[in-house]
Structure 1
Amino acid sequence: MTETPMTLRELIARGDAYLQRRNVPDARVVCEWLAACLFKCGRLDLYLHLDAVPDTRIVDALRRGVQRVAAGEPVQYVLGRWDFRSLTLKVDRRALIPRPETEQLVDFVLASPQVRRTPKPLVVDVGTGSGCIILSLAHDLHDGVFVGLDVSPDALALARENAVLTGLADRVLFAESDGCGEFDPASVDVLVSNPPYIPSHVVDGLERHIRDHEPRLALDGGPDGLAVYRAVLLDAVMVLKPGGGVFFEIGDEQGPALRDLLEEYGFVEVTVQRDYAGKDRYATGTLGF
């Protein structure tokens, strides 16, 4: 007996129920993202197609996607792409998935005096990963020198692919480095970083879709989660111009520690700011003259 063809509405409902039984958060939204990718439309535009009867190719692809998510794989990796601000980026296991909180970090840089008052700022992204931060800054700023650094060759390869995908390959330089100490002294206007900040002993207890799929190198911040911040700040005091700015994404319990670190390294106008969920998420400072 042949299976009765189902509408997209029915397929999404079935996928939703399947994922809910496996305790996948936001199961309905996940199914809609998967279907939207296959229909090559936005998730909200998908509602125009709910009564369509997809062909077997789309049905099979949707089922495979749902099964991968049910097995713990992040939906972003299943889709192979994800939106970050105004850019659509390629995402896979080579780098951390771009997250909404990091979009707000870009906003802080764009609004900073170091960017707004400098005709051609030198902006360096330490631990660039997918390239989401530095590519967004290059996209939004009309002029500047933009550099993305990462210790992972795999992450850099992904970032370069995203630079080509977004048409920004001629505006952003990517280089393999574990820090920014190779820049000339007092040459950099902005250092921005979303470094690994999860304490080592916490990483193994993360949700499986993070722990088992996203690169540990992009998650593990050392015994107290602050190792990379210290390394970046050690370089920052040498390469930042007087009055240059540092912009960090941080863990939601690291605000006091980052404030102390920034002040210890001679930064002034230090701020710890919250994300849209009301959690400490960003630490910024200006290098004193």
Structure 2
Amino acid sequence: MSSEAPAPTVRTLRDATAAVLARAGVPDPEVDAELLVGHVLGVSRGRVQALAVMGEEVSADDAARLREYTERRAAREPLQHITGVAPFRSLELAVGPGVFVPRPETEQVAQFAIDALRAVPSPEPVAVDLGTGSGAIAIALATEVPHARVFAVENSPEAFVWARGNIEASGATNLRAVFIDLADALPELDGTVDVVISNPPYVPDDAIPRDPEVRLHDPAAALYGGPDGLDVVRIISGVARRLLRPGGTLVLEHGELQGAQIRDLLTADGWRSAATQRDLTTRDRATTAVR
């Protein structure tokens, strides 16, 4: 009789991984478990579910790799840092230490800018993404509005490396990354831009995020925006007024409790039609305004 233990299966490893992640307090442990198994096996989450039903066995090497990834995720390292990729709309972006991980709620914010850009009657509308981070918003604009010219501005050397790599991988020839302080961005475009969008740091300095993934791993410069969270928003308001043509659109992502403050700030700066937009969870998520 053989004394060898049976080979682990996709189902047993997925379930064991989910149990470890649940004990560690990871949100959606079943989802993350399937994504980690898929990353190890090089297959989609849907394929993981199919292999679990089929009783597919997993090699000892793959099982060991999964245990390592599970320990890292249980320690609340972001899933996207472990897999190296973050989904955003139709994109897969490379991410890791030094760059803000794009969030699902920003996909809807990008849609506001895409809609505004598509509505411009010019044959080559111009958009600027201030503080592009991984390049997520800028790449979405450039690939989904391919007749536009898009500029991705970033002032963090670490984030700029990620943005430039993602832009190159996207193949978008209508998109240029620019390394410069936001306040000094693109004077050559003054008065000619149709849409400015930004997902700036907007967390007040004393409002430490609850999630360890955010608190410990997202760059502080991409999170904190001064005592009231709006220091960078104030800069962007001025820069966007300089860049945009009359009638151009500003789209700003922000926290769910900041809409009224930002509408007041923009109106005081001379913006018209400041309006706060909700995300798919009905939380205030972005404010738009017209130059």
TM over 0.5: yes
Structure 1 residues 205-220: aligned runs within 5 Å:
205-220=209-224
CA drift of 1:2 comes to 5.0
Alignment length, in residue pairs?
Answer: 285
Which residue of structure 2 lines up, in the alignment, with residue 9 of structure 1?
11
Cα pair 1:115 1:121 within 8 Å, conserved: no
Q: Deviations over 1:68-97 (max 9, x none)?
A: 011110111111002111111111122111
Runs of 4+ off more than 4 Å:
none
Any residues of structure 2 matched to 1:73-84 within 5 Å, and which? 73-84=77-88
Please show how residues 125-204 of structure 1 align to structure 2 within 5 Å: 125-168=129-172, 170-179=173-182, 181=184, 182-184=186-188, 185-203=190-208
User: Which residue does the alignment assign to 2:89?
Assistant: 85
Deviates more, 1:128-137 or 1:22-31: 22-31
Q: TM-score normalized by structure 2?
A: 0.94
1:94 paired residue among 87, 94, 98: 98
SS of the equivalent of 1:107 reads helix
Q: Aligned partners of 2:22 and 2:210: how far apart in 1? A: 20
* Whole-angstrom CA distance in 2 between matches of 1:8 and 1:56: 12
Q: Which amino acid aligns with 2:201?
A: P
Report Cα offsets for 1:165-205 as digits up to 9, x if no partner: 2222x3211111221543233121111000000001113x5
Give the CA deviation at 1:119.
1.8
The answer to whether the Cα contact below 8 Å between 2:129 and 2:153 also exists between their aligned partners in 1 is yes
Unpaired runs of 5+ residues, structure 2, are none
Cα distance, 1:115–1:129 mapped onto 2, change above 3 Å: farther
Q: 2-side partners of 1:225 and 1:215: how far apart?
A: 15
Partners of 2:206 and 2:107 in 1: how far apart? Answer: 27
Contact 2:183–2:235 (CA<8 Å) still a contact in 1? Answer: no
Give the residue type in structure 1 aligned to 2:187: F
Cα distance change of structure 1 residues 114 and 186 upon mapping to structure 2, 3 Å threshold: farther
With 222-231 and 3-12 compared, the bigger mean Cα shift is at 3-12
Q: Distance in 2 between matches of 1:188 and 1:174?
A: 16
- Unaligned regions of 5+ residues in structure 1, if any? none
Instruction: Tell me whether 179-188 or 49-58 shows the greater mean CA deviation.
Output: 179-188
1:47 aligns with 2:52: no
Q: Counterpart of 1:246?
A: 250
1:32, distance to aligned residue in structure 2 (A) = 0.4
State the SS of the aligned residue for 1:198: coil
Identity of aligned residues (%): 34
Quote the Cα distance in structure 2 between the aligned partners of 1:118 and 1:102: 26
How many Å separate the matches in 2 of 1:238 and 1:229? 14
The 1-side partners of 2:89 and 2:215 are apart by 25
How much has 1:143 moved relative to structure 2?
1.0
